[in-house]
């Protein structure tokens, strides 16, 4: 189906070709008769014109783009409306995006990547100085010009520090799962510019390693890894990389913003220093990396805040237990010291009293003074100190778990047969109305999922003692089946021939 806008003239713009179909806008290359050059026109999708949230986000991008003027931010030219749909006009970057470069399977040297990171970091530090947090730094939002210089674009979900936070309509938090900082993932109210530094480090990791630090079957799985897990060391994944780069990349991917580089420029400078003697090391890009993540359903995404809240509670409880344990140990040491002082006082006190009896003080004339304050015996002072009442948090004691005696203990990847007619039990967020039905002889594969205690495991147990396994029949979605209906052996009452005839 041809695009009705192709070849049309709108003011001084003639639409030449459709460049791409973005999430909320269509992107065209047009000829600008005033500038006598090609430009890019981003036009809001028809389906979003009546959506106030998306329209507001688009208008926000226009406002922010107009306010930013930097060598490494894609220049803003114009804005207006075509057929009542808002558009924004930007400089046409002939080199395409980093997405396009990765898709081509290009070989990138560390020196080239370092140059791009330096340029993007300058753009970020400039935006941060204006109180703007990008929040969606990724390969598709870094464009390359005719001089192979990189520029930052797409401030559609940017947040102005003193402004109102916008959210995407299809996710509970804005951003892209593979590049999202932990604090952005949990929807932290105090998110600041260091979230962008985390995303910049993820982008750098991807370009030099040739793979994502975290990936998974859907957005939720990836987000949980950003929150919970540590990325592999870059030099372990790509042995050609200098080990000095590990510290630089992993520092800015720290879970706590305070432990990261505190500016994008600082990160880029340390990156450049780490690769200075290895600039000709080449990483061949894997085009498969650009494959989109399998979107999680709205129901699954709606469970994400609850999962993250449980993680926050668990982490807070762990910190409280750690603090209580340290405090108890400190008090124990303190009590031991006090006890030693007490014993020493009891040993020395008779000697002191004996010395005083044998050597009475000489009689002297004393100048009258105010009455002395009542004395408190040393023993009483020590006892008061040792028994001082302290208000302590009640420690939450978690018993050491006993080893699980897991029936069969099937690991992820094990192919199993279903031994009797059954229906799958879905995890929260899946569709329970049309559960998948299995017949004897059907196969499933053991996988891993989030189960009791917010742990990633292949199995879990119910209070009644029944064991369940996390399984998948299509390699993407997963659910639960009881251990009692699964076996590594083909059901003996069936034969492959009878199953195929059925």
Bridge partners of 13, per DSSP, are 10, 32
Whether 54 and 24 have beta carbons less than 8 Å apart is answered as yes
- The secondary element (H helix, E strand) that includes residue 30 is strand 25-32
Whether 163 and 212 have beta carbons less than 8 Å apart is answered as no
Count the alpha carbons within 13 Å of 49 in the hemisphere toward its beta carbon.
Answer: 12
| Residue pointed to by tokens 């929807």 | 187
Could you give the 3-state DSSP secondary structure of residue 437?
strand
Burial degree of 279 (CB within 10 A; 0-12, 13-18, 19+): middle
DSSP characters over 311-329: HHHHHHHHHHHHHHHHHHH
Known catalytic residue at 211: no
Instruction: Tell me how many degrees the CA angle 88-92-95 measures, rounded to the nearest 5.
Output: 140
In whole angstroms, give the CA distance from residue 33 to residue 40. 13
In whole angstroms, give the CA distance from residue 454 to residue 470. 14
Whether 76 and 90 have beta carbons less than 8 Å apart is answered as yes
- The secondary element (H helix, E strand) that includes residue 26 is strand 25-32
* Tokens describing residue 80: 């207006």
DSSP structural state of residue 53: H
* Tokens describing residue 380: 């009483």
- Secondary structure of 450-472 in the HEC alphabet? EEHHHEEECEEECCCCCEEEEEE
Strand pairing report for 449-451 and 455-457: antiparallel
Active site residue: 32, 78, 125, 136, which one?
A: 136
Question: Using alpha carbons only, how large is the chain's radius of gyration in Å?
Answer: 33
In whole angstroms, give the CA distance from residue 484 to residue 486. 6
Phi-psi region of 116 (alpha: psi -120 to 50; beta: other; left: phi over 0): alpha
Q: How far apart are the first and last CA of the chain?
A: 44
Alpha helices in 177-297 (DSSP H): 182-185, 194-209, 219-228, 234-237, 244-252, 264-275
As annotated, the active-site residues are 136
């Amino acid at each position: 189906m041809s695009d009705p806008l192709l070849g049309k003239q709108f003011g001084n713009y003639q639409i030449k070709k459709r460049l791409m179909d973005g999430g909320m806008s269509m992107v065209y290359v047009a000829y600008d008769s005033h500038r006598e050059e090609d430009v890019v026109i981003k036009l809001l999708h028809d389906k979003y014109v009546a959506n106030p949230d998306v329209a507001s986000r688009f208008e926000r991008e226009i406002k922010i783009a107009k306010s930013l003027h930097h060598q490494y931010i894609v220049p803003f030219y114009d804005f207006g409306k075509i057929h009542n749909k808002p558009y924004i006009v930007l400089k046409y970057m002939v080199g395409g995006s980093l997405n396009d470069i990765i898709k081509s399977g290009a070989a990138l040297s560390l020196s080239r990547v370092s140059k791009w990171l330096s340029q993007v970091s300058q753009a970020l530090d400039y935006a941060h100085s204006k109180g703007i947090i990008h929040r969606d730094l990724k390969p598709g939002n870094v464009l390359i010009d005719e001089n192979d210089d990189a520029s930052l674009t797409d401030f559609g979900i940017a947040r102005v520090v003193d402004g109102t936070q916008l959210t995407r309509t299809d996710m509970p938090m804005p951003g892209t799962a593979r590049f999202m900082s932990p604090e952005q993932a949990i929807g932290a109210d105090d998110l600041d510019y260091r979230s962008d530094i985390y995303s910049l480090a993820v982008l750098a990791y991807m370009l030099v390693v040739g793979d994502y630090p975290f990936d998974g079957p859907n957005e939720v799985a990836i987000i949980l890894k950003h929150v919970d897990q540590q990325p592999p060391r870059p030099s372990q994944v790509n042995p050609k990389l200098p080990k000095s780069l590990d510290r630089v990349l992993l520092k800015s991917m720290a879970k706590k913003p305070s432990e990261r580089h505190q500016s994008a420029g600082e990160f880029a400078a340390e990156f450049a220093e780490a690769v200075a003697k290895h600039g000709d090391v080449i990483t061949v890009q894997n085009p498969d990396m650009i494959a989109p993540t399998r979107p999680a359903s709205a129901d699954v995404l709606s469970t994400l805040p609850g999962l993250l809240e449980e993680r926050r509670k668990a982490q807070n409880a762990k910190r409280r237990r750690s603090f209580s344990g340290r405090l108890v140990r400190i008090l124990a040491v303190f009590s031991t010291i006090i006890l030693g002082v007490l014993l020493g006082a009891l040993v020395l006190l008779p000697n002191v009293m004996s010395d005083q009896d044998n050597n009475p003080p000489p009689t002297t004339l004393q100048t009258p003074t105010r009455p002395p304050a009542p004395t408190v015996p040393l023993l009483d002072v020590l006892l008061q100190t040792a028994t001082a009442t302290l208000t302590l948090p009640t420690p939450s004691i978690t018993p050491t778990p006993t080893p699980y005696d897991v029936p069969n203990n099937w690991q992820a990847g094990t192919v199993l047969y279903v031994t009797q007619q059954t229906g799958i039990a879905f995890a929260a967020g899946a569709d329970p109305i049309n559960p998948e039905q299995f017949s004897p002889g059907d196969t499933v594969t053991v996988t891993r999922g989030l189960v009791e205690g917010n742990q990633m495991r292949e199995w879990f147990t119910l209070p009644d003692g029944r064991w369940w396994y996390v399984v998948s029949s299509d390699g993407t979605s997963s659910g639960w089946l009881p251990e009692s209906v699964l076996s590594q052996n083909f059901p003996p009452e069936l034969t492959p021939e009878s199953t195929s005839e059925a």
